Amino acid sequence: MTRRLIVLASLVALLLAAAIAELALGAVKVPPGEVLDILFGSGKTGPNHQIVESLRLPRTVEALVVGAALGVAGAILQGALANPLASPDVIGVTGGAGFGAILIIVLFPEKIALLPIGALVFGLLAAALVFVFAWTGRNRGSIAKVVLAGIAMLSLFTAGTTGLLAAFPEKAPSAIFFLAGGLTSSGWESLDTTWPYFLAGAVLVVFLIRPLDRLALGDDVAASLGSRPQLIRFGAAVAAALLAAASAAIAGLLAFLGLVVPHVVRMAGRTSSQTFVVPASALGGAALLAGGDTLARTVRAPIELPVGPFMVILGVPVFLWLLRRAL
Amino acid sequence: MPKARKSRLAVALPLLAAALCLWVASAAGAATPKRIVALTPFAANTLVKLGAPPVAIGQTVGGNERFAPQLKGVTVLPLAHPNGPNLEQLVSLRPDLVLSTKTWAKGNQAMQNLGIRVVTREPVRVNGVISKTLAIGRLVGKLPEAKQLVAKMKEGLGKARQGITKRPSVMVILGVGHSPFTFLPNSWGGDLVRKAGAEVLAGGLNSGSGFQRISDEVVIAEDPEILIVVPHGEPEDVPAITRYFENDPAWGATKAAKEGHIYISTNNSLLQAGTDVGKTIEEVRKKYLHNWPG
């Protein structure tokens, strides 16, 4: 118990540090005191005020929300599918979102504001198709069927994305940022569109935590305890699809986060209990994405780089260190 | 009309007229942007020629934009996907107008969300230079200067297009790495070469973007008399791209290769809209098409 509390406390500290760095650092130097004044409503109006209030603050909130959502989506999928390789990729969301975004970039470049909607719609569509194939016919809802349907859908949409980029290579530079995963300073607009999906996913997750712990004992034991394994699995997939599609709409494809963060917190906390793994993954995911985004914005400032590679740089050493100790 | 009323009117009317003039002048003054950011060389150079230089200019990463010498020392905003300029850097400049391009559609939206006025006035064809110059002049309160500039441009264009002695078939190729893209007639470079008197070949391809990936087989089938290659990439990669296309064995069978008419254009004049359009057409005719009299 003490270990879990220490891990949670460390994650909270990391999250705060990452959020402060995200707010304080950027292409334009704003003194930390002024950042605080602006955040607490006493700063002078002017460019710095606009930079902190309209650019950095929404971006920090986006990083925290998306990081937490992807961490949680990975945690519940790995729990529901009893598969350590499960992530939002496995239910087709990432592939669908990528295809939807590239479709907008290629076919409707003048309507670029629709990109998050395209990613969201196709991410959810891909997940819905996985659900249709995985939860109908023989052995419906079985782990193997969900995973295989997900991989098939991921392949299908990834092929569509690659095909579009091959047919319209001149659009590739605009697409790379989305495919590599990156936050943009678009104010509150993206969150305005996606918050209902984050909320619905989060509420579902809250109700799934205990059933997922029972499911970890095996389908038969869970059923004997009154749980319905297929329904739990379906609920977890729907929640993960909502969280991951909304995340992709804001930050592009960041599959790594959903895959690795739950493993890191499990190894650090030495438990697979979802009552610990889900909130810890939310904190870890949020900290990792906010930290990675700070690096992506500042390493080559004023050029902003995609955050995906930075999260890998930050996350993999920790992951490998824990892996070495755990196995 | 009684005399007293007449005299009151005589005083009031000029006062009203003067007040109206002052109001119009102050409204016009308020609307005239002073701190302009130009994200394209065309907009930046046009502003210089109109006497309203920008406070900052955009420069693509690794780009080779053709800026007027007067812009030396002006703040440079590096441009990169997806937004174009760094929005923090842009906000710190307190611009009251950004002249942008559709390439940065996502960034334009974000700038507008920040309350910045963003306008796209980038010509995609040669004739567009005239209307866009006038539009920029109107935007920055320099319409008379824009009209003068346009008159000069028209004169230059007229001279540059006189006495075309032949109309060779030409393919204009954008070399991205080792991949050839063809300039279509609806691209800036394609239209400019056509205006210089060439028959622009594009293998029947079309695209709203003005460019299409093209197979070497199409280049051979079209068999152009002249191939103009525009290498595109980081400045340090351009020499290697140039060497590759100059010696591309796949093009060996074309008339252009056999007669030594493969030319390389590295100054971006075919890639980016410019204000010196007459001069560019003259250059294309003299250097590549050889259809300039004498």
Contact, B153 vs B49, CB < 8 A? Answer: no
Whether residue A185 and residue B83 make contact (CB cut-off 8 A), yes or no, is yes
| Per-residue tokens: A233 | 């699995």
Cα A14 from Cα A64, distance rounded (Å): 12
The pLDDT, as a whole number, for residue A310 is 87
Nearest CB to A173; choose among B78, B81, B85: B81
Q: Considering only CB atoms, which chain B residues are within 8 Å of A176?
A: 81
Containing structural domain, residue A241: 2-326
Nearest CA-CA distance, residue A13 and chain B, Å: 27
User: Which of the pair, B138 or A185, is modelled with greater confidence?
Assistant: B138
Which is nearest to B119 in space by CA: B143, B140, B99, B93?
Answer: B99
The pLDDT, as a whole number, for residue B203 is 84
| Per-residue tokens: B237 | 């990669």
User: Which of the pair, A71 or A91, is modelled with greater confidence?
Assistant: A71
Nearest CA-CA distance, residue B11 and chain A, Å: 45
The interface residues of chain B toward chain A in range 205-244, judged by CB-CB distance below 8 A, are 207, 209, 211, 213
Centre a 10 Å sphere on the Cβ of residue A36 and count the other Cβ atoms it contains: 15
Q: Considering only CB atoms, which chain A residues are within 8 Å of B88?
A: 26-28, 51, 55-56, 185, 302
The interface residues of chain B toward chain A in range 39-98, judged by CB-CB distance below 8 A, are 61, 77-78, 80-83, 85-89, 91-94
The pLDDT, as a whole number, for residue A278 is 97
Mutation target vs A (from B37, B59, B91, B114; most A CBs, 10 A cutoff): B91
Mean pLDDT value across residues A250-265 = 89
B178–chain A Cβ distance below 8 A for any pair: no
| Chains A & B: contacts with CB separation below 8 Å | 86
Which SS3 state, helix, strand or coil, does residue B230 take?
A: strand
Contact, A254 vs A70, CB < 8 A? Answer: yes
Whether residue B89 and residue A28 make contact (CB cut-off 8 A), yes or no, is yes
B286–chain A Cβ distance below 8 A for any pair: no
CATH of the domain at A238: 1.10.3470.10
DSSP characters over A112-180: GGGHHHHHHHHHHHHHHHHHHHHTSSTTTT-HHHHHHHHHHHHHHHHHHHHHHHHH-GGGHHHHHHHHH
Q: Considering only CB atoms, which chain B residues are within 8 Å of A301?
A: 86
Q: What is the pLDDT of residues B236-247, one digit of tens each?
A: 788 888 888 888
User: Which of the pair, B4 or A189, is modelled with greater confidence?
Assistant: A189
The pLDDT, as a whole number, for residue A247 is 93
Contact, A267 vs A281, CB < 8 A? Answer: no
Most confident of A63-77, A84-98, A241-255, B66-80: A63-77
Nearest CA-CA distance, residue A12 and chain B, Å: 28
Distances (CA, A) of A82 to A55, A87, A116: 40, 11, 31
Nearest CB to B110; choose among A168, A177, A187: A187
With a cut of 80, say whether residue A135 has pLDDT above it.
Answer: yes
> ipTM of this complex > 0.90?
no
Average predicted confidence (pLDDT) for chain B: 87
The pLDDT, as a whole number, for residue B25 is 47
With a cut of 90, say whether residue B282 has pLDDT above it.
Answer: yes
Most confident of A30-34, A301-305, B285-289: B285-289
Confidence band, pLDDT 50/70/90 cuts, at residue A206: very high
Q: In chain B, whose CA is at the least distance from the CA of A166? A: B213
Q: Considering only CB atoms, which chain B residues are within 8 Å of A54?
A: 91, 113-114
Nearest CB to B86; choose among A110, A115, A304: A304
Whether residue B113 and residue A186 make contact (CB cut-off 8 A), yes or no, is yes
Cis ω before A302 (30° cut-off from 0): yes
Nearest CA-CA distance, residue A312 and chain B, Å: 21
Nearest CB to A55; choose among B88, B106, B179: B88
Distances (CA, A) of A163 to A86, A103, A212, B216: 26, 11, 38, 20
Split into its structural domains, chain A has a count of: 1
Q: In chain B, whose CA is at the least distance from the CA of A112? A: B106
Confidence band, pLDDT 50/70/90 cuts, at residue B18: low
Nearest CB to B110; choose among A50, A171, A186: A186
